[in-house]
Amino acid sequence: MAKVTLTVNGRKMSGDCEDRTLLVHFIREKLGLTGTHVGCDTSQCGACVVHLDGKSVKSCSILAVQASGSTLTTIEGLAGQGDMHPVQAAFKTHHGLQCGFCTPGVVMAAVDMINRHGGALDEETVRSELDGNICRCTGYHNIVKAILAANAEMSASRQAAE
Amino acid sequence: MYATNYHRAASVSEAASLFAGGAEAQYVSGGMTLIPTMKQRLAAPGDLVDLRHIPDMKGIAIDGRRVRIGAAVTHAEVAASSQLATVCPAVCRLAGMIGDPHVRHMGTIGGSVANNDPAADYPAAMLALAATIVTSQREIAADDFFTGLFETALEEGEIVVALAFDAPEKAGYAKFRNPASRYAMTGVFVAKASGNVRVAVTGAGSDGVFRQGDMEAALSANWSTDALSGVTVDPGGLISDLHGDAEYRANLVKVMAKRALAAAG
Ligand SMILES: Cc1cc2nc3c(=O)[nH]c(=O)nc-3n(C[C@H](O)[C@H](O)[C@H](O)COP(=O)(O)OP(=O)(O)OC[C@H]3O[C@@H](n4cnc5c(N)ncnc54)[C@H](O)[C@@H]3O)c2cc1C
Ligand code: FES
Ligand code: FES
């Protein structure tokens, strides 16, 4: 057994688990944050994507003990007090989801790619950045539209702030 | 997944002693190969020694044309290294083609080289660049390191600490990705350093990564795609599987070599 301590969505949280417990199971079952999904057992679908120390990772392919001591952001941590994150809002506006199963992972991947590319995102880049996220419903088209729209809005508000 | 005992090493020597004291111990770096394998119960290390937090295994150092990449450096860090891009952009581009963004944030160059998957990308670069694999015990030339499918010259408990090479005058990599797995169905890395040309092929050989001698000779005489057009690739010894047979891969070797050459300029 191990004691795992993480800063999750800004709050310090800890729990006991077996060394073999996957981070995604720790998040869902120990921390009760069930927004992060498990969509495959081959590390390919991306439904489990969270941010570990600010970077998108597959929480189904990391042990909770490997992550101990880190800062974690899950889908529950994106929205402010009552306000959706601009990426979440854009998914709503542009119909970027259907069943919603892949959506938490796709949104976390989208926030990560927008952070890394700092405004310089085009359709081709978005599509290749989505390599690690599989969606069985949308055909990706509206996902791409939503990410580009959120990116434009976020860069505009960044520029306004400068 | 079977039960395991996790240990986080703070130094290379601590990692080696934790490994020696463990039962059926295995190292874990990014875990992007090992954890999925453990999930499938195809690996069951009794003790797991984490190398990801060892300071000596981090960072990219460039001294003139000499490049040293710490084994725990992630694919994303290599892809984004502007310093490395000034001397050997082909390696940055290769790293950016591995898996997907989330895999690249965790997976490491040391883990990839130690694992020597026959369809992995880095082994082709290391072999074509005549890299030195720096371990906890010695230095191994890439030519002696990759010994077969998932096989390397590493001894039990030996740790890859860094990868070192001289940046070549020209280098390029081209990969035909398996669209589902993202691994190379065939990848070719070409490098030219002081007139010496090396061509390494991954994803295609039944024994893993290999050098394509005929292409090396042709490109040494004439660094151009015309020279490659004259080379016949023997399908003997190439992989046949549901994704493509040996003849198909033999053709891919040639096409990827031409694209790699075009990328090298
Ligand atoms: C969805 C997906 C897609 C992928 N696509 C590609 C691809 O397109 N191309 C590609 O090349 N790879 C691909 N990979 C594999 C990925 O690149 C891995 O990161 C890499 O193969 C292993 O690196 P790691 O740090 O994750 O190693 P780990 O999984 O931690 O370890 C792998 C093996 O190496 C050993 N090991 C690790 N580090 C060391 C060390 N420093 N010294 C000695 N032994 C060590 C471990 O004991 C283990 O046996 C993919 C993986 C996934 C999950
Ligand atoms: S659950 Fe499918 S990649 Fe993590
Ligand atoms: S919305 Fe259903 S899987 Fe993506």
pLDDT 10s digits, A40-60: 999 999 999 999 999 999 999
Q: What is the spatial distance between Cα B211 and Cα A161, in angstroms, rounded to a whole number?
A: 54
Atom of ligand 2 nearest to the CA of A38: 1
Do B71 and B162 fall into the same domain?
A: yes
The pLDDT of residue B75 is: 98
- Taking an 8 Å cut-off on Cβ atoms, the answer to whether A131 and B32 are in contact is no
The pLDDT of residue A157 is: 86
The pLDDT of residue A161 is: 83
Last residue of a domain, one of B133, B166, B199: B166
CB proximity B96 to A under 8 Å: no
Q: What is the spatial distance between Cα A120 and Cα A113, in angstroms, rounded to a whole number?
A: 10
Do B180 and B103 fall into the same domain?
A: no
pLDDT, mean over chain B: 97
Residues of chain B positioned with their CB less than 8 A from the CB of A2: 6
Last residue of a domain, one of A11, A42, A77: A77
* Residue B246 pLDDT greater than 90, yes or no: yes
The pLDDT of residue B148 is: 96
Q: What is the spatial distance between Cα B120 and Cα B245, in angstroms, rounded to a whole number?
A: 19
Do A117 and A66 fall into the same domain?
A: no
Who contacts B132 (Cβ-Cβ below 8 Å, separation ≥6)?
Answer: B139, B140, B141, B142, B163, B164, B165
The pLDDT of residue A81 is: 80
- Taking an 8 Å cut-off on Cβ atoms, the answer to whether A49 and B4 are in contact is no
8 Å CB contact between B53 and B173: no
- Taking an 8 Å cut-off on Cβ atoms, the answer to whether A58 and B103 are in contact is yes
Query: b or e along B31-65 (b: 16 or more beta carbons within 10 Å of the residue's beta carbon)?
Result: bbbbbbbbbeeebebebbbbbbebeebbebebeee
User: The tokens of A86 are what?
Assistant: 């601009």
Map tokens 């130094």 to a residue. B11
Do A96 and A155 fall into the same domain?
A: yes
pLDDT digits (tens, 9 = 90+) for A77-113: 999 888 999 999 999 999 999 999 999 999 999 999 9
User: The tokens of B95 are what?
Assistant: 């790293």
* Residue B179 pLDDT greater than 90, yes or no: no
The pLDDT of residue B136 is: 98
Do B81 and B128 fall into the same domain?
A: yes
Residue contacts between A and B (CB atoms, under 8 Å): 76
Do B249 and B232 fall into the same domain?
A: yes
CB atoms within 10 A of CB B66: 12
Q: Is the CB of A137 under 6 A from ligand 2?
A: no
Above pLDDT 90, what percent of chain B? 97
pLDDT digits (tens, 9 = 90+) for B67-97: 999 999 999 999 999 999 999 999 999 999 9
DSSP H or E run through B200: strand B196-202
CA nearest neighbour of A22 among A64, A66, A58: A64
Residues of chain B positioned with their CB less than 8 A from the CB of A41: 39-40
The pLDDT of residue A160 is: 85
The pLDDT of residue B202 is: 98
Please tell me the distance between residue A136's alpha carbon and the centre of ligand 3 in angstroms: 5
* Residue B212 pLDDT greater than 90, yes or no: yes
Number of domains in chain A: 2
Helix axes A86-93, A103-117, angle to 10 degrees: 120
Enter the pTM of the model. 0.97
DSSP H or E run through A71: strand A71-73
| B172 bridge partner residues | B190
8 Å CB contact between A67 and B53: no
Do B223 and B198 fall into the same domain?
A: yes
Instruction: Assign residue B40 the CATH number of its domain.
Output: 3.30.43.10
CB atoms within 10 A of CB A64: 26
pLDDT, average across residues B33-54: 98
Instruction: Assign residue A34 the CATH number of its domain.
Output: 3.10.20.30
Number of domains in chain B: 3
Do B176 and B97 fall into the same domain?
A: no
pLDDT digits (tens, 9 = 90+) for B215-227: 999 999 999 999 9
List ligand 1's pocket residues with C-beta within 6 A: A 43-44; B 26-34, 36, 51, 71, 98-99, 103, 107-108, 110-112, 114-115, 117, 120-122, 159-160, 182-183
Q: What is the spatial distance between Cα A66 and Cα B259, in angstroms, rounded to a whole number?
A: 39
Do A97 and A114 fall into the same domain?
A: yes
* Residue A61 pLDDT greater than 90, yes or no: yes
Q: Which domain holds residue A69?
A: 2-77
Q: What is the spatial distance between Cα B70 and Cα B51, in angstroms, rounded to a whole number?
A: 11
The pLDDT of residue B180 is: 87
pLDDT, mean over chain A: 96
Above pLDDT 70, what percent of chain B? 100
Q: What is the spatial distance between Cα B211 and Cα B100, in angstroms, rounded to a whole number?
A: 27
Residue of A44, A101, A108 to test ligand 3 pocket, by largest number of atoms within 8 Å of CB = A101
Do A68 and A9 fall into the same domain?
A: yes
pLDDT, greater one: B194 or A134:
A134
Ordered DSSP codes for B142-179? HHHHEEETTEESPPTT--EEEEEEEPPSEEEEEEEE-T
Do A103 and A49 fall into the same domain?
A: no
- Taking an 8 Å cut-off on Cβ atoms, the answer to whether B99 and A58 are in contact is no
pLDDT, average across residues B243-249: 96
pLDDT, average across residues B37-65: 97
Atom of ligand 1 nearest to the CA of B37: 29
Residue of A44, A98, A140 to test ligand 3 pocket, by largest number of atoms within 8 Å of CB = A98
pLDDT digits (tens, 9 = 90+) for B108-129: 999 999 999 999 999 999 999 9
pLDDT, average across residues A34-39: 98
| Closest CA to ligand 2's atom 1 | A38
Instruction: Assign residue B250 the CATH number of its domain.
Output: 3.30.390.50
Last residue of a domain, one of A77, A99, A134: A77
- Taking an 8 Å cut-off on Cβ atoms, the answer to whether B36 and A113 are in contact is no
Q: What is the spatial distance between Cα B20 and Cα B11, in angstroms, rounded to a whole number?
A: 14
* Residue B194 pLDDT greater than 90, yes or no: no
Backbone torsions φ then ψ of B229, nearest 5 degrees: -60, -30
Do A52 and A10 fall into the same domain?
A: yes
| A15 bridge partner residues | A4
User: Residue A69 — left, alpha, or beta (φ > 0 → left; ψ -120 to 50 → alpha)?
Assistant: left
Q: How far apart are the first and last CA of chain B?
A: 47
Nearest to B101 among A18, A65, A109 (CB): A109
* Residue A158 pLDDT greater than 90, yes or no: no
The pLDDT of residue B22 is: 96
Last residue of a domain, one of A46, A77, A108: A77
Do B78 and B95 fall into the same domain?
A: yes
How many residues are listed for chain B in this entry? Answer: 265
Do B134 and B66 fall into the same domain?
A: yes
The pLDDT of residue B154 is: 98
| B242 bridge partner residues | none
| B74 bridge partner residues | B108
Q: What is the spatial distance between Cα B109 and Cα A39, in angstroms, rounded to a whole number?
A: 27
Max Cα distance, chain B (Å): 56
CB proximity B102 to A under 8 Å: yes
How many residues are listed for chain A in this entry? Answer: 162
Q: Chain A: nearest CA to B66, how far in angstroms?
A: 28
pLDDT band per the 50, 70, 90 thresholds, residue A149:
very high
* Residue A159 pLDDT greater than 90, yes or no: no
Q: Which domain holds residue B183?
A: 170-264
* Residue A119 pLDDT greater than 90, yes or no: no
Do B128 and B183 fall into the same domain?
A: no
DSSP H helices in B44-168: 75-79, 82-87, 89-96, 101-106, 109-115, 122-128, 142-145
Residues of chain B positioned with their CB less than 8 A from the CB of A42: 36
The pLDDT of residue B65 is: 96
